[in-house]
Structure 1
Amino acid sequence: MTIPAGLRRAVLRARRDTGFLAAGVLPHLALVPVWAWAATTTDRTGNWLLTVSVSAALVLLGAPVLTAVQRVRYRVLIGVDVPRLTAPGQWTWASTARWLAATRPWRKIGYHLLLGPLLALLELLVLAVAAAGLAGFSAYAWSWALPTEIRQDWFGYLTQLPAYTAAGLLLLCALPWTARAVARFEARPAVGLLGPSRAQRLQERVDQLAVSRTDLIEAVDAERRRIERDLHDGTQQRLVSLAVNLGLALATRPDLPGAAREVIAKAHLEAKEAIAELDDLVRGLHPAVLEDRGLDAALSGLAARTPLPVRLRVDLAERAAPTVESVAYFVISEALTNATKHANAMRAEVLVRQVGEVLRVRVTDDGLGGADADGTGLTGLAKRVGSLDGAFHVSSPAGGPTTITAELPCAR
């Protein structure tokens, strides 16, 4: 005989939820003997200080164990995850105080000490309904198992057994929904009281997003470095080889017709221009010297290539993270480009200092001023700095000078 799928699911769900409720009776009643002993001992001896101290110690020791048991019970039997409380990396007085304020361990104690016994009564009620339903539904079976004398002395058992059977069947039919409702009712306070608080969950989520954002930034920066290496070692070298061959052709074949020499000379010039453009593109992606020798050397090369005089001061105790160096480099590069192309500046000053765990970058030029902080270039710089939780500021009054400041967290 094939059991209908709906009936099979209802039976399995009733068995799972009823087993979940049955497994919760003992953990929920585990601390009842403690406060019952405390009450009776205090009433008998009057030594409330001793009983309260011993009871508090037992509760504090038992609460984490009961929490772990309940966490396993919820996860294994009904698939509800009660997150663990994140402990501080290093236990100090300050970190312990913050952890106690965030986790509020008295919520767990209140759950096990006060709410647990009430939930146990509810669980016992559901189990009693299940037992009554089974007993009523199987009334004919166990009544015929009774001795004949007892059945004969049972007045009206032939008319009562159908009622017992029908009532038991109704209770069993209602059991899947009843057990499910009670299990859901239990899960809601358990997640809120045994798991981290809402503030702690939000803080953990913020920390996870910050880590994932940092990983994404580092991955993008690593990919930019890979593209730079591929262009430098592949395409750029091919263009250099092409330009050299064209130059050799012009130098070693003076007998070529004038039109051919003109075409080769033009191709040679375009190849050199393409190399220069590709070099600018590669340097814009990620300068190789920045990765090899650090921010100081990269900025020295940048200052040397800038058409206007640049006074450069770099004061770094150690190298910062690659992403921080990259953002600092591009802030300074864009600021010097703007000073050259748009501000008609005569000179510029670049100051890079590490103050504590902050890398401070300041670029000043004596140009015309009036830079638009909402422009595409400066907005892009602000977003780059903001991706590292840094601060970006532009001061550019009409007539100058223009000062661009960036502060980047550089703690490793």
Structure 2
Amino acid sequence: MIDVHQDEQLSAGSLVRGWFRAFFGVLLGIATAPPGLLVAMLGVGTVRMTEFELRRIERWSGAAHADPLTPRRCQRYLGVRWMVGGLGFGVVLMLLLYLTTAASMVTAWLFDGSWGLVKDGDVVSGELIAVATLPGTLLIFVTLAGVTGVAVLDRWLATAMLGRSQQTMLRQRVAELTSTRAEVIEAIDDERRRIERDLHDGVQQRLVALGMLIGRARRARGEEQLQQLLEQAHDTAGEAIDELREVATRVYPAVLDDSGLGTALEVLAERSGVRVEIRNELRASPGAALETVIYFVASEAVNNAAKHADASLVEIFVQQVPGGITVVVRDDGVGGADPSGTGLSGLARRVKAVDGVFEVISPSGGPTTIGARVPCE
């Protein structure tokens, strides 16, 4: 059960800490405003100064969404940002003035004891102090809020002049998701056609041959001929089962659910027609969805190396990196892999569907490197 009072204290503490963070950010922004204006006037070092401002804003107020910086945009930004620094200076000056005034009145009351304030030999009545308390408190509150407002304005200005607004980013994200959904549907259709082709060219042909062998066995006249045909039919049935198992594995390997990514990669290496070395540095499972993507990147790369690259060795590297997981598959083949081919383009769409990045480097003569990075907390 959550303690409501404790939760309120934590919220109040977070609010106070957030205000002090904004206050320190505003103070630093006041100090950098004059140098920033000078840099903007000279037109030298604008990008470096802007990068410093963005790091300051991110450190004390939160990240500002900025596009790649250009000298012209940075010069315009610094030429305007000094006004935010001046506004911050005015707010902080007012806050210090009000706090100093309030502190002097409280100090006079504490040392005077008669609710009076001595000024030029006259005693200011306690009623005057009481009347001044309410507007003074309001002024202090307004200036306290003004510090936060300046910090928010500072961040907004950087985003407005150097990057994209939140609404623009949301619209771009919706467009990306719409495009990704269409690409995923296209990839699913391509995979279905590929499965149909594998079944038609492989398993179906084996089953047709099996039926013909059984028909010939039924018409066999001698025991020896019958045994030969039955033996051929048995071998053909085994080949059909193996090919059907391969097709099922290409659709989705059951070992992923049963034993995880590490075992699935080991099975892939055992079934491959080329030597495969694996270095899997994942300490925990990233989840079924990401394991599936990583497995299919490795599987497609290994199959391409065995069928088309004339490779003798394939190396698979899987490791955790800050913010995600990378899988890199490198072979020593002849290179020349086409990223727009059915298999690799389908992989690119599969990786993009989980907000990942896919890359193929395959110069003529080799080697070929296929890599993907998928986000993972």
When normalised by structure 1's length, the TM-score is: 0.42
Structure with bigger gyration radius: 1
